Every structure is written in structure tokens, then in C-alpha cells.
Amino acid sequence: TEPPNNQRTYDDMRLLVLTALVALSAAAPQYGYSAPRELDSAESVEVTAAPVVRSGYAAPRSLDSAESVEFIPILQDVRDHDEDGSHNFEIETGNGISISQSGDSYGNKQGVISFTHPDGTPFYMTFVADGNGFQPESSALPVAPAFPHPIPEFVLRQIEFARQEDEAAARAAASAPRASYSAPSSSEEDYNRKKRDAPYSVARSLDSDESFEVIPILRDVRDHHEDGTHNFEFETANGIAVSESGDAYGNKQGVISFTHPDGTPFYMTFVANEDGFQPESASLPVAPAFPHPIPEFVLRQIEFARQEDEAAARAAASAPRASYSAPSSSEEDYNRKKRDAPYSAARSLDSDESFEVIPILRDVRDHQEDGTHNFEFETANGIAVSESGDAYGNKQGVISFTHPDGTPFYMTFVANGDGFQPESASLPVAPAFPHPIPEFVLRQIEFARQEDEAAARSAASAPRASYSAPISSEEYN
């Protein structure tokens, strides 16, 4: 019966390995071999005991068992090598293995390998090895199935898994700082062609009913100069467009536009300079007009918070205070303290209480006669304050620390002619306005107004308890 394909492939591989071993052995100097002889038949030679041949290979020795070893003579061994690398060789053994190869000075090779499988099936293969790689040809080699052909389900799952891994890696790479940019579109004509002919790539099917789109990048123009000036334009086929330009002083301006999934367009311009990031868009929320009436219940909450703050301040004032050590003498000392001793050890008091000595890691103060100033202050427990100001009284700075529960606090501020303007994600946000005022609040407001009016009328009609100074005699006359 015909052996299975996988068995034939396995036999082919074993014989190819055998062929390579025969070629390797044939390549060794044949000091101890006699001239090849003709065999009348497929006789076998029993090797019992033979002396060692010092100048070549030792003769086979007898085995402990009754096994026999077949000696395969080399019938032909022709080798020709030139100094430029060109070569030709032919090898043939007594059991029908034949290998021939020729090559030129450029490393290109061609040849033939043939032998007979143990089941009598002949094997014949030609090959070429050049700049295009190793190219074998043989009817015995396995042939890939015709394409397209049904892909097994487990293969499709592996392909999908690999795609998801690639997308995750791409997202991770996109979020990391990039050291290089891809080449922008080569020309305006190429940009217009992409936008006209390929607005969207065709989605391909997955194992499930889902599909995804590959969105082409229509424009990617980036221009960076050593002095910091830059300009870039970025646009995708699904309508996302971003452009930005900046000067050598760090000022930037640009435009961002796209379309929401529900079809609503978004368009925003922005400027970023010493006054901060200033976006403009009809899509951005608008703060309520100020001043506006504050509901009574809000006022009560504000008053309640004030009283709590005062109580907390009184409690803190009566508690043992932490003392601060002298500021660090140098930058090296500052770094050492921050690395090795973020907190000083607490020392015992006469009572069971103890307090921490918090080192001051940085205390830099610079004041000029015209009022300009700069200072940086940092303690080992994470409190950091920095502020700078000009001769006109304008100030800006940063305050950061960590709450006892581990929540970080970070706030920037500007203080100028427009007042104190803090910015922090930790600050409370006023509710959107206008908003409906509950009826009971309106009744309380009206009741308070009526009480105020009644008190004013009562005060106006009551007898006065104070008298004016007496008039002088001249004024009396």
C-alpha cells in the first residue's frame, strides 16, 4: 500500500539528513580509502576485526551482538575548487546516492540530488541557490494546497489574536514619545488623489459579525526647526484634521476639527502663549454670567463650611506643632535628604505624644528692589510651593501636597489685576446656571425679606435712647 503523505515526508527528511552526512564524510580527506571498486551485487561486508589505519579512518570493529555493518563504497568523488570561488563536485555512493553541484565566483550554485527510498521509491531533485534564495524543484516535495481554500477555525482565531496584539502594541507605541516622524505625503497631487479615490479602506470580515475600518492618513506634514519654530498638518480620511504652528518663544496656535458619530461637526481654534491655553469653539460649555443670585441653601452650605474650617483651625492651633529644621545648605544636601531621609525620626515627649521634625529640603528666595521676586519652598513630607512676581504686583505659582488619605493636591494660580485665579481639579465647581430654584428656597428668601422690612420699620418707630449734644448759647439766640 502507498505510505501516508506524512510518513513519506518524514522519510524524505531522514534521507536528506543522511545525504548531508554522506556529503560531509565525503568532504574529508580520503587518506585511508582504496580506489572504489565495482560491486556485483548489493553484498554486505561483515567487519570482524581490523587493524587501526593511522593515516585515515579506523576500520569498523565488530559489535558485541550478532549485528552486521554494511560498508558503502564511494564510487565517485570528483572535486574541483578554484581560487575565485568557482567549483564543481560529483559524489556517488554504492547504494545509489548521487550529488553533484557547481558554483561560480559570485556564490551562485546549482546541482542535483538523487537517491532511492527504502521502499524503492526514487527521489530526484534539482536546485538553484542564488540572490533569490534556495530554489528546489522535485515531484517528491510537498505542494501547498490551491488558494483560496477554507481556513480552519483555530487558524482564524490565531490570526485574530495576533491582530489584536498588533493593535495593542501600536496603541502603546503611539502613546509613547516618538523620536522620529513618518514621511509626509510627497505632493499636493498625492494628497488630493488619496482624498478623492480612497476615503475609506474596505473593511475585512472577522470570525464574528464585527468588522473594522482601516482609516488612511491623507496628510502628514511636519516641519521642525532647531529654534523651536514648527508647523504641522494632519488629516485622516474620516474627517479628523489638526494643524498647529509655533514660534521660537513657545507660542502656539492651531485648529482642530472632526465630526461626532451622530454627525455633529466640531471646530475649535486655539492659542497657547504666556496667558495660557485659550480655546474658542461654539461646542465648548459657557460659564454663567456673573454676578448671579446665589440660592439660600448654597449660602447655608458655604457658612457651614466656613464654621467647620474655623473649628479645624482652632483645633490645629491647640495641637502640638511640628518644627522645621534649617533649610538645606546646598543642592547636593537637598538631593541627599530627599533620597535617604524623607522624614526625620519622631522623638519622644514627656507624655505619650510625639511629633515629627520635618526637614526643609529647599528654601530659595530672591527679592529685588523693584518688587520682582521668586521663591521655591519644599519640605520632606511633600509640601511644595513656588511663586514668582513682577514689579507691577502680578504673581503666578504652584502649590502641591498630599492629603493624609493619600490624595494628591496640585494647584496653579495667577494673581493680577483680575484678582486671584486658581486652577485645580481639586477645587469645587459651581453648578451650571441658570438652574431652577426650589419653591421652599423662594419662600425662605421672601420670609427673610419680610422680616428685614419689619425690623427696619420697628427700628424707625422706636424711641431713641441717645441724645444729641446741647446747643451753645450763640446757636440758641
Q: Which residues contact 290 (CB under 8 A, 6 or more apart)?
A: none
**Residue bearing cell 514621511:** 183
- Read off φ and ψ for residue 415, nearest 5 degrees: -130, 115
- With 0-12 / 13-18 / 19 or more C-beta atoms within 10 angstroms meaning exposed / middle / buried, residue 90 is middle
Distance, CA of 267 to CA of 197 (rounded, Å) = 25
Predicted TM-score (pTM) above 0.85 = no
- 305-310, long-range: CB within 8 Å, 24+ apart, which pairs? none
Contact 160, 207 (CB under 8 A): yes
| Nine cell digits for residue 275 | 496667558
Strand ranges in 94-248 using DSSP code E only, listed in sequence order: 98-103, 109-116, 122-130, 133-137, 204-205, 211-212, 217-224, 230-236, 241-246
- With 0-12 / 13-18 / 19 or more C-beta atoms within 10 angstroms meaning exposed / middle / buried, residue 91 is buried
Q: Are strands 354-355 and 347-348 parallel, antiparallel or unpaired?
A: antiparallel
Q: Give the single-character DSSP code of 382.
A: S
Q: List residues bridging with 303 in a β-sheet.
A: none
Tell which residue, 373, 400, 396, has the closest CA to residue 385: 400
Identify the pLDDT of residue 471: 54
Distance, CA of 129 to CA of 142 (rounded, Å) = 19
Distance, CA of 286 to CA of 29 (rounded, Å) = 92
Q: Are strands 217-224 and 230-236 parallel, antiparallel or unpaired?
A: antiparallel
pLDDT digits (tens, 9 = 90+) for 99-154: 999 999 999 999 999 999 999 999 999 999 999 999 999 998 988 777 677 788 88
Amino acid 41 reads S
**Residue bearing cell 458619530:** 261
Distance, CA of 108 to CA of 132 (rounded, Å) = 10
**Residue bearing cell 537517491:** 115
Tell which residue, 347, 382, 345, has the closest CA to residue 362: 382
Distances (CA, A) of 194 to 80, 163, 201, 231: 59, 25, 11, 22
Identify the pLDDT of residue 299: 85
Identify the pLDDT of residue 343: 46
Q: Is the peptide bond between 3 and the residue preceding it cis, with omega within 30 degrees of 0?
A: no
Contact 259, 215 (CB under 8 A): no
Distance, CA of 37 to CA of 71 (rounded, Å) = 12
Distance, CA of 34 to CA of 74 (rounded, Å) = 10
Amino acid 388 reads S
pLDDT digits (tens, 9 = 90+) for 260-278: 999 999 999 999 999 999 9
Distance, CA of 122 to CA of 114 (rounded, Å) = 8
Contact 246, 228 (CB under 8 A): yes
Conformational region of residue 115, where left means phi above 0, alpha means psi within -120 to 50, and beta covers everything else: beta
Tell which residue, 236, 254, 255, has the closest CA to residue 246: 254
Q: Is the peptide bond between 422 and the residue preceding it cis, with omega within 30 degrees of 0?
A: no
Angle of the 439-461 helix axis to the 296-318 helix axis, nearest 10 = 80
Identify the pLDDT of residue 293: 75
Q: List residues bridging with 397 in a β-sheet.
A: 387, 413
First-to-last CA distance in the chain?
153
The pLDDT averaged over each successive group of 10 residues in the chain (477 residues) is 54 66 57 46 44 43 62 92 93 94 94 94 95 93 76 88 92 64 52 56 49 83 92 91 94 94 93 92 79 80 90 79 51 62 47 72 92 92 94 94 93 93 88 74 89 89 60 54
**Residue bearing cell 553541484:** 101
